[in-house]
Amino acid sequence: MTNPRQLAFIALRDVHKGAYADVALDRVLQKFNLPDCDRRLVTELVYGSVRRQRTLDTLIDQFAKKKSHQQPQDLRTILHLGFYQLRYQERIPASAAVNTTVQLAKENGFAGLTGFVNGLLRQYLRKAEGQGGRGAGEQESRGAGEKDSLLLPQSPVPHFDPLELPENPVERLGILHSFPDWIIQVWLEQLGLNDTEKLCEWMNQSPTIDLRINPLRTSIEEVEAALQSAGILVRRIPHLPQALRFIGNTGSIQKLPGFKEGWWTVQDASAQLVGHLLDPQPGEVVIDACAAPGGKTTHIAELMVDEGKIWACDRTPSRLRKLQENSQRLNLQSIQICTGDSRHFNQFQNTADRVLLDAPCSGLGTMHRHADARWRQTPESVRELSDLQRELLTHTSTFVKAGGVLVYATCTLHPAENEEVISAFLAESPDWQIEFPSGIELPDSTERTPQGWFKLWPHRQDMDGFFMVRLRKTNNSE
C-alpha cells in the first residue's frame, strides 16, 4: 500500500488516538519506501490537517447536519483530508481532492456515506466559486467603515472564502488560523490584532531547517561549498557566525555532505543565539541544567573550543543518549553526562562559572515545528510548567559561583513562563541582577526590553519564538 492519502489517513488516525504527530508520521514513512514526492505529500497532509484542525472542524460544522464532534472519528479524519486539500493545496486539482477523499471513505468503512462526503466537499466548492463568503458577504456584514484586517491577500484560500467567521476577534482569528482561543488571547495582549495575525500566519508555514557549523572541524565556507556541490541551496543568517539555512528540499539530513563527519548539526537560529548570550569561555565549568537532546550543550562546547568541563544534566536517559551520539559525531570531549532532575542536585553548589537553564516549556514559539502542540497545551499545563520553571531557576541558581552567569531561556511566548518567572526570582534574590551583555549581535528588530530580557517574535525575525535573559550573581553573594 503506497497511496499517500491512505498513509496520511493512517497516521492521522493514530494522532487522534493520542500519538504525537511526528511519531505517527515517522512510523508510517518508515514502513513504506515512498518516492520523495509522495513522502512530501504525506507529510504535508498530516501536519497540515493537524495544524488546521479547528478550521476544518468549523467547515464540517458549517456544511454538515451533524457537528464535527458528532461524526465518527475516522470519517471526521477523512473529511479533514478532503477539506485541507481543497482549501490549502493549490497544486491539487479540486476534482482530484474530492475523488480521492470519496475513495478514502469507500476503502475505510464508509462506503454507504460516499454520497455524503462527495456532496459536502462539492457544497464547499460551489460556495467558493459562487457568491462571496469572505470576499463580499463578510465585508458587508462588518460594515463599510470597519477595517478588513483579517483578509490578507497571501492567505492560501479561495478568492471567495466559504468559511463563515464570527465577529469576536479572538474566535475569528482562532477559527481562521486554527488556534485555541486562549493562545490567541495571550498573543493579542502582547502584540495587538495586526501582529497577532501575522504571527498566526507565520506559525502555519512549513518550518525551515537551520544548521550550525562546527568551527572545530570545518569552516562555514567549506560547508557551503560541500552542500552546493551536492545541489543543496543554503543561505547565511545575519548576526550568527555559525548558521546556515536550507532553501528548498534537502532529502535525508543524515545523508548530506559533512553530517557524518561532524561538520555541522541541525539547530534553529534562535536557539543558537542562546549559546552566544551565555558566552562560555575556554577552561570554564559550565552546567547545562536541562541539556537533552543537546543542541545547546554541543554549541557551548564549540564556543569553549572544547576546553573546560560541561555538565549536561537531564532526567530523560533516552534523550541523553541522543546528546552523547551528537557529541561523539561532532568529536567533542568536554561534555560530561549527569542523569537526573536538576532540582535535586546538591553536588554543584557554587561550582559553575556559567549555568544554562533552557527550561522545559509549552513550546508556543515553535508550534510550526510541532503541529499538535497547540492542541496539547492548555492554560493549566502552562501554570504547571511555570511552577516547574520557578523551582528549577531557584535551585540551579545555587550552582553559580559569585560573579558567575546564568542564562534562562525558553522557546515559548507566554509571559507566565518568561517575564513572570524572572520577575518573581529577582524579587526573592537580591544577589542577582539582569546583565545587558556587550558585544552580542542580535537579529534586526529583536525586542530588547527596558527590563533587560530578549524576545524573538517569529514573524519579525523569521526564526523560532524565544525568550532569553542573562543574569549575573553579584560578588557579595555567599
Cα separation, 38 vs 156, in Å, equals: 21
Residue 296: name the closest of 355, 365, 351, 343 by CA: 355
In terms of phi and psi (left: phi > 0; alpha: psi -120 to 50; beta: otherwise), the region of 129 is alpha
Task: Return contacts of 151-156, CB within 8 angstroms, 24+ apart.
Answer: 152/197, 152/201, 154/201, 155/201, 156/87, 156/88, 156/90
Q: How far is residue 457's CA from residue 464's CA, in Å, rounded to a whole number? A: 7
Query: Which pLDDT does position 476 carry in this prediction?
Result: 59
> What are the DSSP calls for 248-270, one per residue?
S----GGGSTTTTTTSEEE--HH
Among 452, 435, 434, 456, smallest CA distance to 444 is for 456
- Determine the Cα–Cα distance for residues 422 and 275; give it in Å rounded to an integer: 19
Q: Helices marked H in 32-89 — which ranges? A: 36-51, 53-63, 73-88
SS3 of residue 287 by DSSP? strand
User: What's the CA gap between 36 and 33, in Å, rounded?
Assistant: 9
State how far the Cα of 466 lies from the Cα of 60, in Å rounded to an integer: 35
Give the residue numbers annotated as catalytic, written as ranges: 411
Per-residue pLDDT of the chain (478 residues; tens, 9 = 90+): 679 999 999 999 999 999 999 999 999 999 998 888 899 999 999 999 999 999 999 999 999 999 999 999 999 999 999 999 999 998 999 999 999 999 999 999 999 999 999 999 999 999 988 744 333 223 222 233 333 333 333 345 545 889 999 999 999 999 999 999 999 999 999 999 999 999 999 999 989 999 999 999 999 999 999 999 999 999 999 889 999 999 988 878 999 999 999 999 999 999 999 999 999 999 999 999 999 999 999 999 999 999 999 999 999 899 899 999 999 999 999 999 999 999 999 999 999 999 999 999 999 999 999 999 999 999 999 999 999 999 999 999 999 999 999 999 999 999 999 999 999 999 999 999 999 876 676 666 566 676 788 999 999 999 999 999 999 998 754 4
Q: State how far the Cα of 441 lies from the Cα of 334, in Å rounded to an integer.
A: 26
SS3 content of the chain, % helix, strand, coil (to 5): 50, 15, 35
Name all domains of the chain by residue range, CATH numbers in brackets: 4-129 (1.10.940.10), 210-266 (3.30.70.1170), 269-473 (3.40.50.150)
Nearest to residue 51, comparing CAs of 10, 84, 18?
A: 84
d(CA 358, CA 86): 40
Contacts of 160 (CB under 8 A, 6+ apart): 127, 128, 129, 130, 131, 132, 133, 134, 135, 136
Q: What SS3 class is residue 294?
A: coil
Provide the edge-to-edge strand list for the sheet that holds 243-247.
Answer: 233-236, 243-247, 210-213, 264-266
By residue count, the chain amounts to 478
Grid cell listed for 449: 526590553
3-state secondary structure of 339: strand
- Provide the sign of the torsion angle of the four alpha carbons 99, 370, 183, 456, taken in this order: negative
Cβ atoms of 103 and 3 within 8 Å: the answer is no
Closest CA relative to residue 310, chosen from 262, 358, 353: 353
The answer to whether residues 308 and 286 touch, using CB atoms and an 8 Å cutoff, is yes
Three cell numbers written together for 423: 520577575
Say whether the peptide bond before residue 293 is cis (omega within 30 degrees of 0). yes
Grid cell of 167 as nine digits: 465577529
Euclidean distance between CA atoms 59 and 264, whole angstroms:
44
